[in-house]
Structure 1
Amino acid sequence: MASTRPLRVGFVPEHFSTPIHFAKKHYGLDAELIPFLSGTGHMITSLRGGEIDAAIGLTEGWVAALGKSQQSGDQDGGYRLVGTYVETPLCWAISTGANRDEIKTVDSLQSGKIGVSRIGSGSYVMGYVLADQRGWLAPASSEQGSPYADIVVLNTFENLRNAVNSGEADFFMWEHFTSKRYYDNGEIRRIGEIYTPWSSWKIAAATGLVEGDRLDPRVHDLLDKLNLGIKYFNENKEEAVEYISTALDYSEEDAREWLGTVKFPEKTQGVDANVILNTITTLCKAGVLEAGACQAASMITQL
């Protein structure tokens, strides 16, 4: 199982990736870091396709995809959850086009066209969580399917912004601080927000790197170096603000505000099975997964 080739690690190049940058810069993380602008759904495809070895993405995306695999009889799923990267929930901003005056409130989005990055991505899953919280889901006995008129797959954040302005989609959801710059410049308009009912980021490794509860040593090294990157992040907030506001697409003010909302774990190793179970329960309630068909324990490799 062990190899000397550096791991290929997928990540989303946003403010949450700052400890990953510090792990590479200050602690010599021996990995090829591969950015995925279109998010977790794309990383799932790449993990299953053997294009990357591990990835850091959104809890709901990882769980939804593994749950759908279990429902289809595929117990492998292509990856296992091996670590926790962020302990706090994620705030998803709900956005529409700057001049979409007919869209005034979140309730006006019912039966509208939702833009998502990919089927199975966080932006897709949270559309159903929103519908569940708003009471838009049809009863299980109903023949009605989606709570939306259309689910428009648009891949990137830029495409999503363009779509709500052109009318191709009515709204989309993306992380609050990543969206905020485009509210400030008038490109899109914020009409609400929704928080994940779970801690927001998990670390996944391809099943080829997992044997029972044993991991490839390179995955252990990844988790150890992320721990160091997180410790450095917590102790060097000014360097974090400088990096976020210069190398990434955020203002210094937004970077500082974000620092007060996020908590990374002291140890990335391990996943709380109750968090995954809660995620499955919510996704079943929202109609993304089938109740009774998914097992949290088989999604996780505990260290």
Structure 2
Amino acid sequence: MSSQPLKIGFVPEHFSTPIYFAHKHFGLDAELIPFPSGTGHMITAIRAGEIDVAIGLTEGWIAGLGKTEQTEENDGGYRLVGTYVETPLCWAISTGNQRPEIQSVDSLKGGKIGVSRIGSGSYVMGYVLADQRAWLVPTTGVGTSAESASPYSDFVVLNTFENLRKAVNDGTADFFMWEHFTSKKYYDNGEIRRVGEIHTPWSSWKIVASTKLVKGTALDGRVDDLLEKLNKGIRHFNENPEEAVEYISTNLDYSEEDAREWLKTVKFPERTQGVDLNVVRSTVDILNKAGVLTQGKGIQAGDMIVKQR
């Protein structure tokens, strides 16, 4: 086992608080690398060897592997090793404050959707929204969901949350989706306007490790240590809500009131080790139906996971 500290990618939002506690209170020996642009960027980084482990959105990780045809030269770059958040994610649907023509979610059909990256959670959830709203219209000929006509006129790649907010105000995009509490501050200050919301049909955050750290069902010992330290960080988070609120409202972009409200909605697991195969299978099924993945292609659900729960 290498003695080099792991490079861990994470999204610097309120969900990252137990990671901070693991590092501060329980000696997590790792370089924590923030990725404010989200899971899609971390997929690129872990495949490029820039990070070793990452904590991000379930749909992004699974879509990335489900689009990969595994070969000797390409194994997808990462595998699911742990579960970070048990509860679904509430994605707020936002537009610009001066867009009177957009008054409902249904008015977004055929519009320009802003996404952080192709393959990111904001991209994948665009298809899930379209599936739930029956906007996916199969083209003639091949009867697979992957052959559906696009429900949007364009996917505008904008990389960061700040760029997404600007885009819906200057008309570059008509709407975008981002986590509710991260968006709320910008509803309160009038920068953007809320149109609706959508919850993920799956538990929202998973932990992945580079395939270089995986041998069969065994993990590099540093990954095992990380998962144990995260368990302790989560326990500290649950037992010290006031410290969590202070950290979130002082160091991250949230008010104390929003931090307290968020605490009521989130549940972290007692043990991060392992991933429920049924969760992955159901996510793949929904992504197949939504046209993000194609049934029978890509890395299969069971092969995405190193250890099952």
TM-score (structure 2 length as normaliser): 0.95
Q: CA–CA distance in 2 between the matches of 1:71 and 1:140?
A: 28
Unaligned runs of 5+ in 1: none
2:100 matched residue in structure 1: 101
Secondary structure of the structure 1 residue equivalent to 2:100: coil
Query: Which residue number corresponds to residue 132 of structure 2?
Result: 133
Percent of residue pairs identical: 75
Give the 3 Å change call, closer, same or farther, for CA 9–167 of structure 1 in structure 2: same
Which consecutive segments of 4 or more residues in structure 1 shift more than 2 A?
Answer: 70-75, 140-145
Equivalent residues of 2:8, 2:52 under 8 A apart? yes
Size of the alignment, in residue pairs? 302
Q: Structure 2 counterpart of 1:273, which letter?
A: L
Distance across 1 between alignment mates of 2:256 and 2:209: 33
For 2:258, what is the secondary structure of its paired residue? helix
Say whether 1:231 aligns with 2:235: yes
Distance 1:144 1:55 in 2: 32
Gaps of 5+ in 2: 142-146
Among residues 161, 164, 181, which one is paired with 1:160 in the alignment? Answer: 164
Map of 1:23-42 to 2, 5 A cutoff? 23-42=22-41
CA contact (8 A) 1:83 1:203 kept: yes
Matched, 1:299 2:304: yes
Q: Which residue in 2 is equivalent to 1:121?
A: 120
Name the amino acid aligned to 1:14.
E
In structure 2, what residue type is equivalent to 1:298?
D
Instruction: Indicate if the aligned counterparts of 2:110 and 2:152 stay in contact, CA closer than 8 A.
Output: yes
What does residue 144 of structure 2 align with? none
Distance 1:107 1:245 in 2: 34
2:83 corresponding residue in structure 1: 84
Q: After TM superposition, give the deviation of residue 293 of structure 1 in Å.
A: 2.2
Q: Could you state the TM-score of these two structures normalised by the residue count of structure 1?
A: 0.97
Tell me whether 163-172 or 67-76 shows the greater mean CA deviation.
Answer: 67-76
Output one character per residue of 1:20-69: Cα deviation in whole Å (capped at 9) or x when no partner: 00000000100000000100000000000000000000000000000000
CA displacement 1:134-191 (0-9 Å, x = unmatched): 0000125367631100000000000000000000000000000000000000000000
Residues of 2 paired with 1:33 and 1:234: CA distance? Answer: 22
Question: 1:185 pairs with 185, 189, 195, which one?
Answer: 189
Per the TM alignment, residue 70 of structure 1 is displaced from its structure 2 partner at its CA by 2.9
1:76 partner amino acid: D
Is the contact made by 1:94 and 1:171 (CA closer than 8 Å) also made in structure 2? yes
Distance 1:46 1:36 in 2: 10
Partner AA of 2:175 in structure 1: F
* Whole-angstrom CA distance in 2 between matches of 1:275 and 1:33: 27
